[in-house]
Amino acid sequence: MSRVLIVGAGLTGSLCACLLRRELQSSVHITVWDKARGAGGRMSTSRPPDSVCQSADLGAQYISATAAYAQSHHSLYSELLSSGVLCPLDGLIEGLQQRDDVRDYVTPRGMSSLVKHFLSESGADLLLEHHVTGLYRRGASWEVHRKQGDSETFDAVVLTMPVPQILQLQGDVGEMLSVSQREQLDRVEYSSRFALALFFPPDVVFSFDWTARYVSDNSVIRYIAADSRKRHADSGGPSLVVHTSVQFGVDHLEQDKDDVQPIILQELHKLLPGLPQPISIKCQKWRYSQVITCVPDAPGHMTVLDRPLLVAAGDAFVHSNFDGCVESALSTLSVFKASL
């Protein structure tokens, strides 16, 4: 049995774990490590400190399936719809461009439930607060080092964190990359933005009728969602999510999020005067938000070394959404099938 480590419990990592389990069954022992305290990555769902409020999606908001992807990823969409992880979006989204061949879905239990579904299906050992700092080749294995100072050995490793974080790893990864692979990874670019989640008391009812709104005439705020309404969550206080514009994200990237939060709130109150007082607010800085420039020709993954196997995967190798991560996980699976 091969011991496989997947670094990152985001959508790509959870899909890799699930597909490897389904296709390779007992020939692999799968472990997933993530540096965060919860699974989800950029599909994270934030829970308020007070359980009387609904949760809020700080990163990804919808799953938008083109007709082509709805067909090619049909079995995954059916699985998610029949298990209630996905349901069709039916609220009013102001400013959303009409796309004839696209169907939008939401996650009634929050975006992280999508990732948790695949992790649970995979039966993988999930270890949170496991921050990988370096990878060292030791004969036919990888010795993987953690921030806490200890290390563990695996037969194969899949890295699913954003590309700049892969390039920051210590050890042998940098040396294993060919010149052209390094050039391709160096060219990958991400947008940056801030997200705010506001959690309100149960008696609050929003005075506007939209579920979400794209804002075009404000330099700070790009998107606002009545997150609980988007997901038909009717018990508990409502939640509101705000995404800043990419330009604002870039301009304030090196500032502390506690200093940026009041600027976003000030603009929010201009856009929504009379907004009630929230019980709590969470601010998230997405340094690596969505991929602007992906690896050329969107190959799905990059094999850094055949033996011991080391693969880099994630949305940067296709494009930044649900179907991009599915494509990346499928192409990673094909490497494992050929290798094992």
Ligand X SMILES: Cc1cc2nc3c(=O)[nH]c(=O)nc-3n(C[C@H](O)[C@H](O)[C@H](O)COP(=O)(O)OP(=O)(O)OC[C@H]3O[C@@H](n4cnc5c(N)ncnc54)[C@H](O)[C@@H]3O)c2cc1C
Of 11 and 20, which has the nearer Cβ to ligand X? 11
Q: Is 10 in the site for ligand X (CB under 6 A)?
A: yes
* Positions 300 through 319 that interact with ligand X (CB under 6 A): 314-315
DSSP helix, strand, coil percent of the chain (3-state; round to 5): 30, 30, 40
Q: Is 12 in the site for ligand X (CB under 6 A)?
A: yes
36 binds ligand X (CB under 6 A): yes
Nearest to ligand X of 50, 186 (CB atom): 186
Using the rule CB under 6 A, is 325 a contact of ligand X? yes
> Which DSSP symbol is given to 27?
G
Q: Which stretch binds ligand X (CB under 6 A): 4-12, 209-217, 248-256, 263-271?
A: 4-12
Beta carbons within 10 angstroms of residue 147's beta carbon: 12
Judged by CB under 6 A, does residue 33 bind ligand X? yes
Per the document, the length of the chain is: 340
Is residue 295 near ligand X by the rule CB under 6 A? Answer: no
Burial profile 28-54: b = 16 or more Cβ within 10 angstroms, e = fewer: bbbbbbbbeebbbbbbbbbbbeeeebb
Stretch that binds ligand X, among 75-83, 86-94, 157-165, 267-275 (CB under 6 A): 157-165
Contact 117, 83 (CB under 8 A): yes
The nearest distance, CB 32 to ligand X, in angstroms, is 9
Q: Is 8 in the site for ligand X (CB under 6 A)?
A: yes
The phi and psi torsions of 269 (rounded to 5 degrees) equal -70, -25
What span, in angstroms and rounded, lies between the C-alpha atoms of 240 and 225? 6
Taking the alpha carbons of 126, 129, 135, 138 in that order, is the dihedral positive or negative?
negative
Which one among 112, 245, 321, 331 touches ligand X, defined by CB under 6 A?
321
Among 5, 20, 56, 63, which residue interacts with ligand X (rule: CB under 6 A)? Answer: 63
Binding residue (CB under 6 A) for ligand X from 4, 5, 6, 9? 9
CA distances from 107 to 111, 227, 243 (A): 6, 11, 18
When binding is defined by CB under 6 A, the residue of 28, 30, 31, 41 that contacts ligand X is: 41
* Phi, psi (degrees; rounded to nearest 5) at 292: -95, -45
Inter-residue contact 197 to 240 (CB < 8 Å): yes
Site string for ligand X, 240-269 (x = CB under 6 A): ---x--------------------------
> What is the contact surface with ligand X in residues (CB under 6 A)?
7-13, 33-36, 41-43, 59-63, 131-132, 160-162, 165, 193, 195, 243, 286, 289-290, 314-315, 320-322, 324-325
